[in-house]
Amino acid sequence: MHYIVRMSLFGIALTVSAHAFGAELPNTLKEALSSAHATGNEFVLSATLAQAKTMQPQLSGTIDAYIQSLNTTKQTASAEELAALAPSAGKAREETKKEKDWKGSVELGANYQRGNSEEDSLHFAGTLDYLLGKWENIFKASADSAKQSTTRLSEEYRANNQLRRNLTDRDYVFGELDYVNDRFSGYNYRVSELLGYGRKIYVSDTMELVGEAALGARQSELTDGSDESTMVGKMKGTFDWKMTDTLSFQQEMGTEIGGDAVISHSHTGLKSSLSEALYLKLGVDVEHIDDAAPGRKHIDTKTSLTIGYDF
């Protein structure tokens, strides 16, 4: 109905102005053509053009040129709209990039056995890495527990926080706080505070080798209630290798040398991706204390199979 009314008005306008203008299109005709073009409906535009050329055959070429000018104006406006959207798209990409400054993972493995024997074990590990400009904070935590019937076999808690100040793409300085609670190793707890320097020794698309050296202090409480405090030096190396798109290898080794004991710890992990975020990991942790407490072994070894999630 709206279109019929418009076409009737258009016809009246053309009749009135048919002989009042020369090659220049009458304003009423321009308005009618512009309205039909603005609908974006090919049928409406074709019908309007046909009626215009029938009533003003001497202006057919001018009518076609006018429609072409409307098409050109529309294309220019579309290009300007896209250009105006570009900053918004760039801002959206920047926001997505900022979101990626946070990353981390959680891992969980458990064993629950009942029947002729009762055995429970639990392994949890998590990391959280945050990057803000030249500053980076890396937090790691883990917990392990094993029990057979009513006998506790092992119980260990670890937490490590390292705050880095990146000097270059490869060099950084850091402050680190490390906490270990493992009474089965002869220590109720160990706490270390360190300041050091790190460097990414080798970096490629699939491999990264990082070395660190630090100095600081360590405070310990043994299971017999005695306390120890000493200056320490620490050296650590980490190696990450993306073997395939779904398989990666991780190795971390560190030695902390103090007046009371030399403590070395290594972690070896083989990680297989199950999806974009989900993975399965086989891990082996080894700790060696050269001056172990009486009745304690020098080496502790743990093997874990966990399912993890990257975020």
Domains plus CATH for the chain?
2-98 (no CATH), 102-310 (2.40.160.40)
* 52 neighbors 32 (Cβ within 8 angstroms): yes
> What span, in angstroms and rounded, lies between the C-alpha atoms of 250 and 144?
20
Q: What is the pLDDT of residue 91?
A: 56
Q: Report the mean per-residue pLDDT for the chain.
A: 85
Q: What is the pLDDT of residue 12?
A: 40
* 282 neighbors 305 (Cβ within 8 angstroms): yes
Q: What is the pLDDT of residue 17?
A: 43
* 63 neighbors 52 (Cβ within 8 angstroms): yes
Q: What is the pLDDT of residue 177?
A: 98
Q: What is the pLDDT of residue 109?
A: 96
- Using one digit for the tens of pLDDT, what is the confidence trace for 104-152? 999 999 988 877 778 899 999 999 999 999 999 999 999 999 998 888 8
Q: What is the pLDDT of residue 87?
A: 61
Q: What is the pLDDT of residue 10?
A: 44
More confident residue, 268 or 96: 268
* 28 neighbors 12 (Cβ within 8 angstroms): no
pLDDT exceeds cutoff 70 at 16: no
Query: Which one of 35-49, 67-81, 143-157, 209-223 scores highest in mean pLDDT?
Result: 209-223
pLDDT exceeds cutoff 50 at 275: yes
pLDDT > 70 fraction of the chain, expressed in percent and rounded: 84
- What is the 3 state secondary structure string of 38-67? HCCCHHHHHHHHHHHHHHCHHHHHHHHHHH
